[in-house]
Amino acid sequence: MSRWDTSNIPDQSGRTFIVTGANSGLGAAAVRALAGAGAQVILACRNMAKGERVAAEIGPRAQVRKLDLADLASVREFADSVDKADVLINNAGVMAVPQGRTADGFEMQVGTNHLGHFALTGLLLDKISDRVVTVSSGAHRTGKIDLEDLNWEHRKYQRWPAYGQAKLANLMFANELHRRLTAAGSPKISVAAHPGYASTELQSHTESILDTIMKYGNRLLAQSAEMGALPELFAATDNVEPGAYYGPDGWLGMHGYPARSSSSAASKDEEVASGLWELSEKLTGVTFSIGN
């Protein structure tokens, strides 16, 4: 594919998309583009005020609903509010934050980025007619899944390895969901995407000197949120390969237009992916109904 952008999004009239973290950054760019193509969009946001501002820009095709991925009670409440949708985009995330715990005691990064989305997808899957898109990151290559200590209860917390683990978990979840949907003969598909290096608010919550460093990095090196959102938009709307992984086509996958992306050997480890799935079910209390 060459230079696929929002002008290439097929007509989405009559379709409904749920996008997590749609109050800013990649998620806001995605819902604007989807609504511009005729879709109804549900902005699933922790920050309702910011979400309402984005929805006001879009108009009647947009609605905002509360979702805090760091709280399984909020995830369940949101899922209960949804009757049906065509596509779920698991876009929201936190990066390199100080050590913290979710409402359910999970390490904040794996709890928000992976376990929250795992639970949300499981609770919504019967209501999703077409596909699930999960946003990972090039940082998955630095990650290692520790099934004995997923939540950093026994290791000394390190923010970047924790982020790498969380983003690897996102990609492994997308891959495992694809395998399980395929095995069950389901017409639904699972696809993964990553934004490359995009300028968003993700880089401003480390509560350290890194916030300042990454602020300048965004200005000098990053592509726009609108460009960074293209891979997930392509994965969500175009004729994609089920189970594939899409990202920018430029240097080191940092910039450019959507294309197939490579991933680490660890992301393809089916035994670990199965173990992560089982552990995620145990931790969240959410099991998947797959087969229709």
User: Residue 57: what are its φ and ψ, rounded to 5°?
Assistant: -65, -35
Residues marked as catalytic: 163
Interval 46-56 mean pLDDT = 97
d(CA 104, CA 106): 6
For 111-124, the pLDDT digits (tens) are 999 999 999 999 99
Q: Which helix (H) or strand (E) holds 275?
A: helix 270-284
- The torsion angle over the Cα atoms of residues 219, 222, 225 and 226, rounded to 10 degrees, is 110
Chain position carrying tokens 């820009």: 57
Going along the chain from its start, the domains and CATH numbers come out as 7-284 (3.40.50.720)
CA contacts within 13 A on the Cβ side of 91: 34
Q: Give the tokens for residue 289.
A: 């109904």
Q: How much is the pLDDT for 215? A: 46
DSSP labels, 53-99: HHHHHH-TTEEEEE--TT-HHHHHHHHHH---EEEEEE-----SPPS
Q: Which two structure tokens, joined as six digits, stand for 254?
A: 């940092």
Pick from 85-94, 231-240, 247-256: least confident: 247-256
CB atoms near residue 252 (< 10 Å): 9
Cα–Cα distance, 94 to 201 (Å, whole number): 9
pLDDT in tens, 70-83: 999 999 999 999 99
- Cα–Cα–Cα angle for 217, 165, 259, rounded to 5 degrees: 60
Query: What is the pLDDT averaged over residues 98-107?
Result: 98
Beta strands (DSSP E) in the chain are 16-20, 40-45, 62-66, 85-90, 128-135, 189-193, 245-248, 258-260
Rounded to an integer, the average pLDDT of 148-155 is 98
The tokens of 263 are what?
């991933």
> Would the pLDDT of 214 be above 50?
no
The predicted pLDDT at position 207 comes to 45
Instruction: Give the separation between CA 200 and CA 108, rounded to whole angstroms.
Output: 19
Report the number of secondary-structure helices (H) and strands (E) in the chain. Answer: 10, 8
* Single-letter residue type at 34: L
